[in-house]
Structures are given as structure tokens and as C-alpha cells.
Structure 1
Amino acid sequence: MSVINKDKIDSIGINKENGNVMIGISDHLDWSNEYEHLIMLQDKINSYLNFIESGEIYESYPKAKDKNIEIIIYAKYDITEKAEEFLNVAYKSVVEAGFNLSCEIIGE
């Protein structure tokens, strides 16, 4: 599963350090087709928000009840300037919805 499979949850678990539910997006794509990549990320984030806001998360992962939820993008490649701009806008939207969004560059 990865960023290209918008209707699948790539990973979900509890962060042992802070107790937050972490819903991971596995992003293995490079940025050679930046526009398409950004659309895929947007679709995946929206799909995750729908998963959370619909309550499906609590059916699929009951441990999420009463926990803070964070969507985290695990990116293989450094993000571009446009991607950073997009993530800043996406972050604001996700926070307004009551959740958190972050991106971690994991490299190769």
C-alpha cells in the first residue's frame, strides 16, 4: 500500500511516546511528476480525513477511541518547494478538523 492507493490505510498504530494514534501514508514516489504527486497526496489525505471523520477508524481500530490522531507522511524523497507549500495548507485544514499532520523524510 502507498500514496497511490488512496482508499487503503497504509499503517495505523499508537505512538508509544505520546499515545497518539498515527495513521501513516507511505510515499515512495519521487517528484519527477510533481503535479500528479501532489494530487495523489491530496486525495490520500482527504481519504484519511474521511476515514477518521466518518468514525470508521473506531470500527477498524478501536484503540483510537479518545486519542489524538495524527496523519504522518513517510516520504522516501525530500519534498519540493511546491510540496512544502501544499503541506502547509493541508496542515492548516487537518488541524482545523481537529487532527494533526506531519511529514517525515525517511530516505532510501
Structure 2
Amino acid sequence: MSTIEDTNKIDAIGIDSATGKVSLKIFDHLDWSDEQRHLYLLQEKLNSYLRFLESQEIYEAYPAASGREFVVSIDFAITPSANALKFIETVSSIMEGAGFTLTFTVDSV
């Protein structure tokens, strides 16, 4: 399984049975002790996902995506820092402008 550190790989793709939207997952297992590095990796990962969607490469890799909406979902193992939340808010607006949705969850341990 890929993770946030594999910035050029898509961690997981599937169709959400409740919404019918294509969900592209990012698995973020890192803590926030090195916030700068963590934010950099998250930015690089999200940029890869945007390139994957905007280039329409997704249709070659996952033909079932045809005609569906896209949601990029970050699964955080650790609650994001305040700076990370601001970053996610900014990126969410950018992605919405491109026609995609960005969401996140935090695993409860």
C-alpha cells in the first residue's frame, strides 16, 4: 500500500457506493513533529493527484471513473496541525475550482 511518502503514487481508488463518486484516497500516517516536511509531502501528494485527474490519466488507470465526479480524501492517522488545516482549506478551494472535492478524516485510535 502506498502512503503520503510515495508522492508520485495514488494510494487507492474506488467508487463510493453511497454517492457513486470516485474516491481517491491518501493515507497519511505521519505525526506532525516535523510540520514543514509533512506539509511539503502533503502538497506534493496532492499535486500528483491533481495532475492525475487533470491529465485524465485516471480514465486509463480506472475506466470505471468515466462520467463520475471525483473526491480526493485524506485519511490522517494524527489530527492535523492548525497550519495543516489552513493548508487543507486553501487546497480545497483550489480543487473545487478545478471541479474536484477534497475531504479528510482522522482515524480514531
Alignment TM-score, normalising by the size of structure 2: 0.97
Q: Tell me if the contact between 1:75 and 1:107 (Cα under 8 Å) persists in the aligned partners.
A: no
Q: 1:81 and 1:21 mapped to 2: Cα distance? A: 28
- The residue identity in structure 2 corresponding to 1:82 is N
Deviation of 1:106 (Å): 1.3
Q: CA deviation at 1:33?
A: 0.3
Say what the alpha-carbon RMSD is for the aligned residues: 0.7
Runs of 4 or more off by more than 2 Å in structure 1? Answer: none
Q: 2: distance between equivalents of 1:84 and 1:9?
A: 22
CA drift of 1:35 comes to: 0.8
Asked if 1:71 corresponds to 2:69, the answer is no
Matched, 1:50 2:79: no
Q: For 2:26, what is the secondary structure of its paired residue?
A: strand
SS in 1 for 2:31: coil
CA distance in 2, matches of 1:107, 1:69: 25
Match of 1:79, SS?
coil
Which residue is 2:4 aligned to?
Answer: 3
Name the CA distance, whole Å, in 2 between partners of 1:57 and 1:107: 30
Question: Aligned-pair distance for 1:107?
Answer: 3.3
TM-score, normalization by structure 1: 0.98
Which blocks of at least 5 consecutive residues in structure 2 are unaligned?
none
